[in-house]
Structure 1
Amino acid sequence: MPFKTVLAVVGGKDTAADLQHAISLCAGSEAHLSVLALQVALSPTLSDYPVDTDWLDRRHHHQHDFKAAAEAHDAACAGSGISYDFASFYDEPVFLTEELTRRAFYADLITVGPRVMTNASLIGIVVNGGLFDAMSPVLLLPEGDQASLRPKRIMLGWNNKIEAIRAVRESMDMLMAAEAVYVAVVDPESPYADHDGEPGAELATFLARHGVNVTVDQIPSGGRPVEDVLNQRALEVSADMLVLGAYGHARWRQRIFGGVTSSMMKGVKLPTLLVR
């Protein structure tokens, strides 16, 4: 589907560059930018009890600094000339997650820049509220990369699971418009690749019927982490974007054991679209 409304999640003043990524993305695709600035409220630690005026002063300054950063974010959007709306919230993680989920219902895509990706609290809110609760596509924007919602060369990670086919459907407009699409099947001898005969063949046929110029790559990992294999192959084919199904396991299992998605988020090399 076309991405007409983009929800950009930012934090304090250190995420100004993340916002510029989102502004550039929307300017290049004539999409509406909905900015959500979030800051996890400063909470007292055990050593702060009983809470005194010193802690209250720290919280006040913390909130004041975020308010100033939010005003700067709003001004940057206003000066960009694009269509946008802006909201900011200073609260506990559970309430920030609920707010993000609600707003994600009315957006086609969530964007996350490199500063938010390294902020454990904020990226947790995006994953829980965006990917799991709202089931919205999330586009990871790495440092210094000028992403586009009209990529020319796309690499699609394929493992024959529901999350992967949802990623295909959510990105179909981009796949159809791309000059080349590379389907990467890592370790095709694995059980998940046995259902359709030649691994990736049914997907290639499905995409070709939509006019997608598709090539299937069966790649042995050689014992390397899947995320490293995907990043390396994307570099070899000069991909502008990587599209992946995300979090194929239950939320509790991902928190305990991690997975390919979690590892990819820690080492994003190019714009990466995650869909659950």
Structure 2
Amino acid sequence: MTYKTITAVLSVAEDAEKVTQHALAIAERHGAHLIGVHAETPIVVTIAAPMEFPDPNAIMEQQAQAQAVSRTIQKTFRTLAQRAGVPHEWRLFTGSAGYSASGVIDSARASDLVVAAQLDPTGDGPSRADIEDLLYESGRPLCLVSEAVAGPETPERVLVAWNGTRESARAVFDALPLLKEAKEIEIFTVDARDSASEHAAFSGTEIASALTRHGLTVTVNSVSSGGDTVAHVINRRVSQTGANLLVMGAFSHSWLRHRLFGGVTSAMMKDLRVPAIMSR
């Protein structure tokens, strides 16, 4: 198993180079085709009162700025991809739906892996809605490039945040091509609980055995949060082990979509120390 089609979601010009370089690094190692995607949303002007008409020149200027950003992102993507010699293509989507547009989602659905920037804890780009749509509507694994990472790296040490759910299992096997590149993999469980097939004391051993059969070097570790947040415990373990890739499921105890980004998933998306593979 390997990645043969990778989609790089380029939301803003500031993150375009970082996300493209990360996607290119994976594409080069796996011989993949890279698709660069940007969604340009038209400017929407709301009239507050009947006599308050927007200035047409101001609207045109805003549209021109949006188009300029698209051209900048496209140039960054094409320049880096051509320099790397990776087969690639560029897709620009324009519409009010943004990253929930059918074209963007269809591009993601036909990919082995989607690469995007992590949520900005101090701003909106990429927005929470963008990431939510990609993760929950595409059905594909999402690689979030963290703010802390210095550059694209081959994952030598991987931390798998494991809780035995469908989402965490899917994330592990979605990340298998990257796990096979790693020298060390740790299955890490926080506040383990008994399941129908596994006692809490042995949490993670079953998935560790499955990965070992793929020829991977895997260890298992289980800790108590001790009143700390699970996100903090996971990030602390990432730092302690020197891991340069995190793998985890995007999950919640709520069935309501607008609450699915609560808890651990939301916290991790805003405070990633290393790139992360997330699957839903």
Common fold by TM > 0.5: yes
Task: Kindly state the Cα deviation for residue 51 of structure 1 after the two structures are TM-superposed.
Answer: 6.8
Aligned residues, how many?
A: 271
Aligned partners of 1:57, 1:21: CA distance in 2, in Å? 37
Aligned partners of 1:67, 1:48: CA distance in 2, in Å? 29
SS of 1:177's equivalent in the other structure is: coil
Task: Kindly state the Cα deviation for residue 110 of structure 1 after the two structures are TM-superposed.
Answer: 1.1
The equivalent position to 2:132 in structure 1, one of 104, 107, 127, is 127
Aligned partners of 1:90, 1:110: CA distance in 2, in Å? 20
Residue matched to 2:87: 83
Aligned partners of 2:52, 2:99: CA distance in 1, in Å? 22
Residue matched to 1:234: 238
Match status 1:167 vs 2:171: yes
Aligned partners of 1:169, 1:18: CA distance in 2, in Å? 25
More helix by proportion, 1 or 2?
A: 1
CA contact 2:39–2:104 (8 Å) conserved in 1: no
Residue matched to 2:11: 11
Residue matched to 1:62: 62
Describe the superposition over 1:9-52 as per-residue Cα deviations: whole angstroms up to 9, x where unpaired.
12243333444434543464243221111233322335266673
Higher deviation after alignment, 34-43 or 235-244: 34-43
Unaligned runs of 5+ in 2: none
What TM-score do the two structures reach when normalised by structure 2?
Answer: 0.85
Aligned partners of 2:162, 2:119: CA distance in 1, in Å? 28
Describe the superposition over 1:210-231 as per-residue Cα deviations: whole angstroms up to 9, x where unpaired.
2111100111111111111111
Aligned partners of 1:65, 1:23: CA distance in 2, in Å? 26
Q: Judging changes above 3 Å, is the alpha-carbon distance between structure 1 residues 134 and 257 closer, same or farther for their aligned structure 2 residues?
A: closer
Describe the superposition over 1:58-86 as per-residue Cα deviations: whole angstroms up to 9, x where unpaired.
33222211212222222223322232211
Aligned partners of 1:251, 1:66: CA distance in 2, in Å? 36
Aligned partners of 1:121, 1:17: CA distance in 2, in Å? 14
Match status 1:147 vs 2:152: yes
Q: Judging changes above 3 Å, is the alpha-carbon distance between structure 1 residues 61 and 115 closer, same or farther for their aligned structure 2 residues?
A: farther
Aligned partners of 1:257, 1:27: CA distance in 2, in Å? 29
CA contact 1:200–1:216 (8 Å) conserved in 2: yes
SS of 1:182's equivalent in the other structure is: strand
Aligned partners of 2:95, 2:210: CA distance in 1, in Å? 45
Aligned partners of 2:19, 2:7: CA distance in 1, in Å? 11
SS of 1:110's equivalent in the other structure is: strand
Describe the superposition over 1:239-270 as per-residue Cα deviations: whole angstroms up to 9, x where unpaired.
01000011244563553771211111111110
Q: Judging changes above 3 Å, is the alpha-carbon distance between structure 1 residues 66 and 26 closer, same or farther for their aligned structure 2 residues?
A: farther
CA contact 1:9–1:111 (8 Å) conserved in 2: yes
Residue matched to 2:212: 208
Aligned partners of 1:136, 1:155: CA distance in 2, in Å? 20
Residue matched to 1:39: 40
Task: Kindly state the Cα deviation for residue 135 of structure 1 after the two structures are TM-superposed.
Answer: 1.0
Q: Kindly provide the amino acid, as one letter, of the partner of residue 84 in structure 1.
A: H
CA contact 2:42–2:94 (8 Å) conserved in 1: yes
Q: Judging changes above 3 Å, is the alpha-carbon distance between structure 1 residues 62 and 11 closer, same or farther for their aligned structure 2 residues?
A: farther
What TM-score do the two structures reach when normalised by structure 1?
Answer: 0.86
Q: What's the C-alpha RMSD, in Å, of the aligned pairs?
A: 2.6
Aligned partners of 1:239, 1:151: CA distance in 2, in Å? 8
Residue matched to 1:252: 256
SS of 2:101's equivalent in the other structure is: helix
Q: Judging changes above 3 Å, is the alpha-carbon distance between structure 1 residues 87 and 253 closer, same or farther for their aligned structure 2 residues?
A: closer
CA contact 2:161–2:168 (8 Å) conserved in 1: yes
